[in-house]
Structure 1
Amino acid sequence: MTAQKVIIIGTGPAGYTAAIYTSRANLNPVVIEGNQPGGQLTTTTEVENFPGFPDGIMGPELMDNMRKQAERFGATFVSGSVTSVDLNQRPFRVVMDDSKEYLTESIIISTGASAKMLGTPGEKEMVGRGVSTCATCDGFFFRGKSILVIGGGDSAMEEATFLTKFASEVTIVHRRNELRASKVMQERARQNPKIKWILNVTPVRVVSDASKVNGLVVKDNQSGEERTVSTDGIFVAIGHTPNTGFLGNQVEIDDRGYIVTKDQSTATSVEGVFACGDVVDSHYRQAITAAGSGCKAAMDVEKFLEGSMFHDWLLQTTT
């Protein structure tokens, strides 16, 4: 079995950008697409904050364009997901869900982080049509609307506060009377006159007319009674789960499950393995920042495969 120069695990803006750059560097990357080719942007509608598209572009179209651009320069795309990797020695071994195996001199991980969902009826069907997991991405579409934010942590407080720039009213819905958010974030939200509160309730189901969200049925945790809260949109802000399970703890991750990279680079704790996009980013989680880190990962891989130049460069960035 001939070892590849580089295998990119995952797509989305980070993986596709890494594929474009490694292809142009004549590294002939093999890109393993995962169970959601194109990543989370394929579930969105119009993207208005990606540079270069003054009139916006549909998320699936943007991802398809990136894929075609990488193919143009010679990237090879493989359908399926990675079930395990062996990073104990080079070449690394990558095992697919169809039992196909690849050997590779280097790996770029761009598997992203999946937004945690409620799992309530009607939620999945209305993603992109009133249900969202990204206030920065979709808040603009809810100007003058009444919306709900579900969650009680810092992310929920931050998203709710951000959404008040657009919405006429934002209501935070949480299953407990107490919030998990820091005191500072709670106080900021409570002082915002546009933010309302519905606490100690459990979301039951999303109400819609198939084209848009109309409300959310919640159950009072004390009385057990159900009621419908009218709304134009629902933002689920209960956290993200980095997609790193297939790594088997062979690279360093932080206490939230995100891959740790060395300062000023995309290098992980395993020499020859790099990571980019939302699998390393718990803060920004934007298409443009993911694309930028994909570019960095590709350039880091190129330096690594050239040999000692990479080690000298990495030493300079970490001292």
Structure 2
Amino acid sequence: MTTHETYDVVILGSGPAGLQAGIHAARKNVRTLMLGRMDNSSLYWAHIENYCCQFKVSGEEVLNTGREQVEAFGGEFRDEDVLSIDPEGSLFSIRLESGDTVLSKTVILATGSSRNKLGVPGEKELLGKGVSYCVDCDAGFYRGQIVAVAGSRSAAAGGAVALTRFASEVHLYCDKLDVADGLRRQLDETGVVLHEGVQITEIRGETGVDAVALDDTTTRAVSGVFIELGAKGVLELTATLGVTLDESMKYIDTDKKQRTNIPGIFAAGDICGPPLQMAKAVGEGCVAGIEAANYAKKLTHGS
């Protein structure tokens, strides 16, 4: 595993909140790194009609322009997802899907709030009874049991690797695995059984999950199904940090400076709650970028 030089500000998420934070942080002349895949943002696939001074423009175009702005001010990008964030002294250690680790004085969480559903029979009915969207939250309930993971990106693969520390067997189902080589090697090394090209079509059970039906007409007996469709979400990334969530356990609580309850951790955009609109995300990203940069400077030079 490679540890890179320390950054002042690391931003998780390349949507409108993350990009605006990146613009303002980079303009304050602090070393800024943006992480995440732009097409993970819900805005990437949208068309914009209700944002001031932009009318009938594609989300992809807006995000690409934002990336150009961040880079023009000296910000850096790595188009990969984050697997974990952990305190390391006065810094934060951020592990990437490639196997690399970066250190940062501050972190801005701007990953959005969507939790993609598998959309199969039994998913809703068995939620909390064997169906989970958070490996870090629920893995410990499946010691010595057989579990299934659904998803093709880093959250699914990283979750499957983590589950091998608890479950007796871990089966990962996906259309086509789309992760960095380092994470794919971890799947092999930890014994995850990869079923590429096979999808879960139904989750079965009465009082709890007992099997999944697959689109190759077979079934597999499992005790749990972890649905991880996309990048790591708010629950997973904050599980080891102690970041306070709201009563719904969906959104992060912040103050007017976009600070969380953990010094050095900021949040912006949909991850902070509704309205889930680009205008709100950009405004919060602006504040978070400025405040995180100021915080990093104080750590460097003293208050």
- TM (norm. structure 2) is 0.57
For residue 248 of structure 1, what is the aligned residue in structure 2? Answer: 239
Cα deviation for residue 120 of structure 1 reads 6.2
Give the Cα separation in 1 of the matches to 2:35 and 2:105: 15
**Is 1:300 aligned to residue 302 of structure 2?**
no
For residue 48 of structure 1, what is the aligned residue in structure 2? Answer: 49
Cα deviation for residue 50 of structure 1 reads 1.4
**Is 1:18 aligned to residue 21 of structure 2?**
yes
Counterpart contact for 2:91–2:106, Cα < 8 Å: yes
Equivalent runs, 1:1-319 vs 2, <5 Å: 1-34=4-37, 36-37=38-39, 39-44=41-46, 46-53=47-54, 55-87=55-87, 89-114=89-114, 116-117=116-117, 119=119, 243-250=234-241, 251-281=243-273, 283-307=274-298
Cα deviation for residue 115 of structure 1 reads 5.1
For residue 186 of structure 2, what is the aligned residue in structure 1? Answer: none
Query: What's the % identity of the aligned pairs?
Result: 26
Give the Cα separation in 1 of the matches to 2:250 and 2:87: 18
For residue 141 of structure 1, what is the aligned residue in structure 2? Answer: none
What RMSD over aligned residues (CA atoms) do the two structures have, in Å? 2.6
Q: Over alpha carbons, which structure has the higher Rg?
A: 1
SS at match of 1:4: strand
Structure 1 unaligned residues grouped into runs of 5+: 122-240, 313-319
Greater relative contact order, per chain length (Cα 8 Å cut-off, separation 6+): 2
SS at match of 1:306: helix
Evaluate the alpha carbon distance shift between residue 110 and residue 306 of structure 1 in structure 2; reply closer, same or farther with a 3 A threshold: same
Cα deviation for residue 65 of structure 1 reads 1.1
SS at match of 2:8: coil
Counterpart contact for 1:90–1:104, Cα < 8 Å: no
Counterpart contact for 1:84–1:248, Cα < 8 Å: no
Letter aligned with residue 69 of structure 1: Q
Evaluate the alpha carbon distance shift between residue 81 and residue 118 of structure 1 in structure 2; reply closer, same or farther with a 3 A threshold: closer
Give the Cα separation in 2 of the matches to 1:243 and 1:39: 14
Give the Cα separation in 2 of the matches to 1:112 and 1:63: 14
SS at match of 2:93: strand
Evaluate the alpha carbon distance shift between residue 287 and residue 37 of structure 1 in structure 2; reply closer, same or farther with a 3 A threshold: same
- Aligned residue pairs total 188
Letter aligned with residue 45 of structure 2: T
User: Which deviations, in whole Å up to 9, do the C-alpha atoms of 1:285-317 show, x marking residues without a partner?
Assistant: 001110110001011112212339xx99xxxxx
Counterpart contact for 2:33–2:76, Cα < 8 Å: yes
Evaluate the alpha carbon distance shift between residue 85 and residue 266 of structure 1 in structure 2; reply closer, same or farther with a 3 A threshold: same
Counterpart contact for 1:244–1:279, Cα < 8 Å: no
Evaluate the alpha carbon distance shift between residue 51 and residue 12 of structure 1 in structure 2; reply closer, same or farther with a 3 A threshold: same
